[in-house]
Amino acid sequence: MNPRDMEQLLEGAHPDPFGVLGMHREGSGVAVRLLLPNARQVTVVDQQTHQQYPAGRVHPEGLFEAFCPNRAEPFAYELEVEDGEGRRQGQRDPYSFWPQLGSYDQYLFNEGTHLEAYEHLGAHLRRVDQVEGVYFAVWAPTARRVSVVGEFNRWDGRHHPMRSLGASGIWELFLPHLEEGTHYKYELLTAEGSLLLKADPYAFGSEAPPRSASVVRNAIFGWSDQEWMASRAQQQWWELPLCIYEVHLGSWRRVPGANHPLNYRDLAHQLVDYALEMGFTHLQLLPVAEHPFDGSWGYQVTGYFAPTARFGLPTDFAYFVDHCHRHGIGVIIDWVPGHFPSDGHGLATFDGSCLYEHADPRQGFHPDWNTHIFNFGRSEVRSFLLANALFWLDRYHVDGLRVDAVTSMLYLDYSRPQGQWVPNLHGGRENLEAIQLLRQLNTQVYARFPGALTIAEESTSWPAVSRPIHAGGLGFGFKWNMGWMNDVLRYMSKEPVFRKYHHSDLTFGMLYAYHENFVLPLSHDEVVHGKRSLLDKMPGDAWQKFANLRLLLGFMYGHPGKKLLFMGGEFGQWGEWNYQQSLDWHLLEEAPHRGVRSLVIDLNHLYRTHPALHRTDTDPQGFEWLDCQDIENSVYTFLRRDPHSDGLLVFAGNFTPVPREDYRVGVPQGGYYRELLNTDAALYGGSSCGNEGWLEADPIPWHGRPWSLVLRLPPLGMLVLQPQ
């Protein structure tokens, strides 16, 4: 063996270990060279003839070489290895296997169009040449050497250096005999000569934090949700009820007395039962991908393909989704393509260079979150992100992706002062590469997964976020209506005596309600960092706070747009959300909190059973103000209708604590009207101020309608009436 090759192998710096190790022609025969630092003796055994060739130690640190004379061609062989304690074991040489990743897959990956990159990169249980083992592949184009390390080689990067696949920048290695559950990382020698220890960007599993090794996992599950998936493919969600319960799995409910979170399987049963009781159609989970810091709530991801190990194995998460589907509950997950953290084992400076992120901090570093921004223009990064999004829909059958922080992706100057951002090639502030990525994402999701959803968290007036790409849009299915949320919460936080000065806060949203397919979000972001809980945002004494919260919920369910409510809001939690502890379930022992919860159950039932409340969410024919100008009384009245079924509902909301007697409201037709819901009902903790269930319309024109109702409007209450 060449002394220079020996020196580089032992230093862990050889650029081409497959060019030295394994079987090679040598004179009149073949030589087998092996790097086995923990071996005492090694014998090469011909698999076909069983002829044995002792390997001599050519270096005391574990280099062996066996010469097989008179062998004109390479042959299949095994190794018989005796370790330092005299134990003998048969094994296959990792350097005896041919390359596994084809040139076409490399081409697609480098082109940015490999939508199934997760099938090839990462760690995969595989059978190669009748041998079970694990195939590893990782992208690290500027590294001088990459090795797989783990307990199986004492985390020593000299043992298993990988094969470089040339210009693709991908390194690969098949390690025979490894099994599921193996812990591993990649050790990289950078161009500058530094050693890095990195988790696998494509790993299907990981250790539970604070540990950070990747774990070989089989991301295959025996699904039983075929009926749900077939039905989902036929759904048109913009005209169906979509009431979403947003959940942080680690703090929804904890094990009593232990204050540690439930696992995926316990959550499957307890959370699904609760969602069914409450009447929600979907669960939206804060990011479930692996993340090192609990306080990021999952929004700083290091393991993009690994469900967090905090709550169990990947198969346990699959069980959770499967159980949801078998009980008619959809699952949406938060997906975070905008940025990633700087943890040493993560994506940042992965191979010693700015691989996944921009090198220029004006483009590659996020000042608000101290995180790195993906280089959306790099082809391999696009392959990574697109494949990751499709992975969750493919392998885990999730029903939708709520894409986090879209605004930060769209604008190059997001949260940056003048001079601290780089314009695009046209001199503008739009991130053209991010726009292209988002359009590719939506194109592929809707083409490959019928009935799936993409939802954008986008807080500006960027046009056509939820409009088709061929019409100039970004192609999302829905967009969070952040403007509605801010206006409504600002209005509701005012003392009722001042609300008449902010009357337009509740009406302004209708000026743009049909510009997008909207979701109305009362999300986790509104109940943290000193913003107070929904209940505590409300003004007045305790009774008024509960009444205001019920009124807010009534207005939300009457307003066009799909619904989203963060956990705790459905029963009026007093305190802000704390990710380190359970929701305050004990509050349900008190009648006012039970009342809010009962109201949400009834609102979900009302919303799901009356097409007028969901079928025309994106159709202007579905909403009509009766009177939006009663500023002095702070009363709002409007209609929701479904032209397809002649369904009609009347909403009347009194946003002051003063009952309004004999309040006349114009309606489009005569007859009797049933009081379907009153947020001031005693059942919900109210004062029971209402209309005793029924009213008859008078033939008196009012508000431009030929008929009218004389209502008793409850204080801080919302009425919902239906003509019979």
Reported as half-sphere exposure (CB side, CA atoms, 13 A), residue 204 has a value of 32
CA distance 710 to 337: 53
CA atoms of 246 and 567, how far apart (whole Å): 6
404, 458, 570, 617: which one is catalytic?
404
Q: Say what the pLDDT of residue 12 is.
A: 86
DSSP notation for 472-505: TS---SEEE-HHHHHHHHHHHTS-GGGGGGGTHH
Q: What is the predicted pLDDT for the residue at 315?
A: 96
Write phi, then psi, for 615 (nearest 5 degrees).
Answer: -70, -25
Reduce the DSSP state of residue 206 to 3 states and report it: strand
Buried-exposed string 34-62: b where 16+ CB fall within 10 A, e elsewhere? bbbbebebbbbbeeeeeeebebebebeeb
Q: Which of 246, 351, 457, 570 is catalytic?
A: 457
- pLDDT at residue number 262: 97
Q: What is the pLDDT of residues 505-547, one digit of tens each?
A: 999 999 999 999 999 999 999 999 999 999 999 999 999 999 9
Question: How far is residue 78's CA from residue 95's CA, in Å, rounded to a whole number?
Answer: 11
pLDDT at 13: 87
Look at strands 562-566 and 518-522 and give their pairing. parallel
Q: Examine the residue annotation and report whether 239 is marked as an active-site residue of this protein.
A: no
Sites in the chain below the pLDDT cut of 50: none
Q: Is 187 in a helix, a strand, or coil? A: strand
* 3-state DSSP assignment of residue 266: helix
CA distance to 180, 327, 338, per residue, from 128 (Å): 16, 40, 37
> What is the sign, positive or negative, of the torsion defined by CA atoms of 417, 418, 422, 428?
positive
- Residue 222 tokens read as 């025996």
The phi and psi torsions of 701 (rounded to 5 degrees) equal: -60, 140
The secondary element (H helix, E strand) that includes residue 74 is none
pLDDT of residue 95: 95
Residues in CB range of 232: below 8 A, 6 or more apart: 330, 399, 450, 451, 452
| pLDDT tens profile 467-519 | 999 999 999 999 999 999 999 999 999 999 999 999 999 999 999 999 999 99
pLDDT value of residue 73: 85
Tell me the DSSP string of 383-440.
HHHHHHHHHHHHHS---EEEETTHHHHHBTTTT--TTSS---TTS-SB-HHHHHHHHH
Domains and CATH numbers, the chain: 3-96 (2.60.40.10), 103-215 (2.60.40.10), 226-612 (3.20.20.80), 614-723 (2.60.40.1180)
Q: How many CB atoms lie within 10 A of CB 116?
A: 15
**For 111, what's the count of Cα atoms within 13 Å in the CB-facing half-sphere?**
10
Residues in the chain: 724
Q: How far is CA 688 from CA 271, 589, 681, 691, 722, in A?
A: 32, 21, 4, 9, 19
End-to-end CA distance of the chain: 94
Amino acid occupying residue 329 = I
Structure tokens at 260: 């540690």
Q: pLDDT tens digit string along 549-577?
A: 999 999 999 999 999 999 999 999 999 99
Q: Is 172 a catalytic residue?
A: no
CB 181: neighbour CB atoms within 10 A? 11
**pLDDT given at position 560:** 98
Residues pairing with 147 in the sheet: 161, 187
User: DSSP code of 159?
Assistant: S
Specify the pLDDT at position 587.
Answer: 98
The string of pLDDT tens digits covering residues 423-440 is: 999 999 999 999 999 999
| Non-local CB neighbours of 401 within 8 Å, separated by 6+ positions | 332, 333, 334, 335, 389, 392, 393, 445, 452, 453, 454, 455
Radius of gyration of the chain (CA): 31
Quick one: pLDDT at residue 325? 98
Nearest CA-CA partner of 185 in 163, 153, 226: 153
Q: How far is CA 648 from the centre of its chain?
A: 37
- pLDDT at residue 645, as a whole number: 82
In angstroms, rounded to a whole number, what is the distance separating the alpha carbons of residues 353 and 364? 13
Pairing relation of β-strands 672-678 and 717-723? antiparallel
Structure tokens at 395: 């392998």
- 649: β partners: 640
Given a contact cutoff of 8 angstroms between Cβ atoms, the answer to whether 406 and 457 are in contact is yes
Q: And the tokens for 111?
A: 């082109």
Q: Which residues pair with 64 in a beta bridge?
A: 34, 57
Token readout for 509 is 């949203």
